[in-house]
C-alpha cells in the first residue's frame, strides 16, 4: 500500500497541522491522546493502517491545503523518537505541497518586481550553487553582490535561523531576512529588516510604500547626559513598562543604534523596503555582525564604523544544526523547523550595541562649585548635570527633570 509513497527525510519534516475527517477536528500530535476522546486508541488504529489502508483513505488531511488552496491533500504520520509529525502524501518524483501564505508570496513578488524595475535581475525560488538552500528571491546586484531576500512570517527558533543563515553565508549570499513580528527570534540573530504586517492586497500594489521599522543601524557617540548627543544611556536599556523613564550615566559611549532610536531620527526618513533592497544590491547598505548581533549600516556609517573599530571579528564557523544534504524538497519556508519545541520569545526593547564606553574625563576633572567654593551636587534624578537648588524633599534636582520624572 505504501510502495508509491515518497517518504520525507528528517530535514523535510515540519510540525504541520493535521485534520482528522471522521472526528471533524485537528489532532494535537503533542498530546498522547491527540486532543480527542479515545485518542490513544485512534493512534493505534492509524498505526495499524500502515501497509493495509491507502493513505488517501486514512482520514488524515492537511487543513491548510483545504482552507488556502481548496485542495484535499492526504497526510500520514511519522514518528521520530517520542515525537509524532504529520507529512503530506506525495508520489515519488512529485514536488512537495507548498504552504506559503498569500502574504509571503506577495512579498516575494513585490521585491522581485521592484528590483527588476531598478535594473537588478531577480529570480524567485532560486537555489544556491551547493543546493543546500533555496532563496525566496535571488537578486543579482552590483560588483558581484548577491542578495537573498527571505520574508519570514512564521515563528522559528534561534537555532533554526542560524542554521539557515549559515547555508546562505557559506554560499556567498548576503541575506535580507524580513520579519513582521517585532519579537521574532531571528531579529538580531541574522541580518534583518522589520516591516509592518500588511495584507497581500496592499503589498502587491507597487505604489504602496512598505516602511522599514528596524534593522537599519547608525553609529553614534558622545557624552551620556541629558544635553548630550545620545538619546539615552545604553547601559540603562529602554524599559517598555516605563517608557518615560530617562537615565544617563555622565560617561562617554560609542554605539550602534537602530536608526529609529537614534537622536537624529525625526520620523521623516521615509526608508522603504524597496529603497533598502535597491541600495543593498548597489552596495550602499552593508551587513555587520558585532558580538553575535546582526544588522545593516549605510555605506558612510560603515566607513565610520570601520575607522573607529577596525574589521569585525568573525565568530567561529558554526556547525550546521542539520546535516548536509539535498534540501531541494523542503516543504515550506513558512513553517517552524522540525524541532521538538519552539524557544520562548524574548521581549526586546532597545537593540543598541555598545562598541566602547569610558568615563567623561574632561567633566570629571572640572568639578562645578558655587560662589562659596563648595562642590555643587548632581541632580538626584540622574541627568548627570549639577543642580544647585533643592527640591521639595530637600535633595538637589532640576525642575525640568522632576516634571519628566513625574510624567
Nearest to 255 by CA among 283, 229, 279, 284: 229
167-181, 215-229, 328-342, 358-372: least confident range:
328-342
Q: With 80 as the cut, is the pLDDT of residue 317 above it?
A: no
Contact 222, 253 (CB under 8 A): yes
Instruction: Label residue 233 exposed, middle or buried (CB < 10 Å: 0-12, 13-18, 19+).
Output: buried
Q: Which three cell numbers stand for residue 294?
A: 546582526
Q: With 80 as the cut, is the pLDDT of residue 356 above it?
A: yes
Instruction: Label residue 90 exposed, middle or buried (CB < 10 Å: 0-12, 13-18, 19+).
Output: buried
Q: Write down the pLDDT at residue 150.
A: 94
What percent of the chain has a predicted confidence (pLDDT) above 70?
78
Q: With 60 as the cut, is the pLDDT of residue 129 above it?
A: yes
Q: Write down the pLDDT at residue 340.
A: 36
Mean pLDDT of 106-119: 95
Q: With 80 as the cut, is the pLDDT of residue 151 above it?
A: yes
256 strand-pairing partners: 219, 353
In what side-by-side order are the strands of the sheet with 134-140?
Answer: 121-127, 134-140, 146-152, 174-179, 192-194
Q: Which three cell numbers stand for residue 386?
A: 549639577
Q: Write down the pLDDT at residue 400.
A: 79
Higher pLDDT, 2 or 180: 180
* Each residue's pLDDT tens digit, 278-294: 999 999 999 998 888 99
Q: How many angstroms separate the CA atoms of 180 and 195, rounded?
A: 5
The dihedral formed by the CA atoms of 259, 262, 263 and 269, expressed in degrees to the nearest 10: 20
* Each residue's pLDDT tens digit, 385-394: 788 778 778 7
Amino acid at each position: 500500500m505504501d510502495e508509491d509513497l515518497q517518504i520525507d527525510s528528517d530535514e523535510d519534516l515540519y510540525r504541520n497541522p493535521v485534520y482528522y475527517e471522521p472526528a471533524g477536528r485537528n489532532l494535537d500530535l503533542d498530546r498522547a491522546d491527540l486532543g480527542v476522546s479515545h485518542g490513544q486508541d485512534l493512534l493505534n488504529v492509524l498505526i495499524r493502517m500502515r501497509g493495509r489502508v491507502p493513505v488517501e483513505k486514512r482520514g488524515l488531511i492537511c487543513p491548510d491545503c483545504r482552507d488556502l488552496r481548496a485542495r484535499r491533500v492526504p497526510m500520514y504520520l511519522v514518528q521520530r523518537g517520542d515525537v509524532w509529525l504529520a507529512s503530506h502524501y506525495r508520489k515519488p518524483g512529485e514536488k512537495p505541497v507548498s504552504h506559503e501564505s498569500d502574504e509571503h508570496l506577495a512579498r516575494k513578488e513585490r521585491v522581485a518586481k521592484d528590483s527588476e524595475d531598478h535594473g537588478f535581475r531577480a529570480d524567485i525560488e532560486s537555489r544556491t550553487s551547493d543546493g543546500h538552500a533555496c532563496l525566496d528571491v535571488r537578486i543579482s546586484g552590483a560588483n558581484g553582490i548577491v542578495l537573498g531576500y527571505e520574508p519570514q512570517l512564521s515563528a522559528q527558533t534561534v537555532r533554526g535561523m542560524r542554521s539557515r543563515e549559515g547555508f546562505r553565508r557559506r554560499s556567498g549570499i548576503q541575506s535580507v531576512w524580513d520579519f513582521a513580528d517585532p519579537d521574532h527570534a531571528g531579529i538580531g540573530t541574522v541580518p534583518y529588516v522589520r516591516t509592518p504586517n500588511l495584507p497581500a492586497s496592499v503589498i502587491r500594489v507597487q505604489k504602496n510604500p512598505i516602511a522599514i521599522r528596524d534593522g537599519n543601524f547608525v553609529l553614534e557617540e558622545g557624552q551620556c547626559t541629558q544635553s548630550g548627543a545620545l538619546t539615552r544611556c545604553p547601559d540603562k536599556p529602554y524599559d517598555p513598562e516605563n517608557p518615560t523613564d530617562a537615565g544617563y550615566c555622565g560617561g562617554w559611549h560609542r554605539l550602534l543604534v537602530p536608526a529609529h532610536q537614534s537622536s537624529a531620527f525625526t520620523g521623516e526618513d521615509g526608508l522603504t523596503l524597496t529603497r533598502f533592497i535597491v541600495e543593498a544590491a548597489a552596495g550602499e547598505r552593508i551587513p555587520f555582525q558585532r558580538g553575535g548581533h546582526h544588522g545593516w549600516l549605510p555605506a558612510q556609517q560603515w566607513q565610520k564604523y570601520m575607522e573607529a573599530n577596525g574589521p569585525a571579528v568573525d565568530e567561529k564557523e558554526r556547525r550546521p544544526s542539520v546535516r548536509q544534504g539535498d534540501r531541494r524538497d523542503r516543504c515550506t519556508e513558512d513553517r517552524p523547523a522540525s524541532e521538538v519545541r519552539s524557544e520562548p520569545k524574548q521581549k526586546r526593547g532597545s537593540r543598541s550595541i555598545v562598541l566602547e564606553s569610558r568615563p567623561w574625563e574632561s567633566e570629571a576633572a572640572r568639578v562645578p562649585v558655587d560662589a562659596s567654593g563648595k562642590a555643587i551636587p548632581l541632580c538626584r534624578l540622574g541627568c548627570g548635570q549639577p543642580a544647585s537648588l533643592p527640591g521639595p524633599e530637600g535633595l538637589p534636582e532640576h525642575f525640568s527633570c522632576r516634571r519628566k520624572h513625574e510624567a
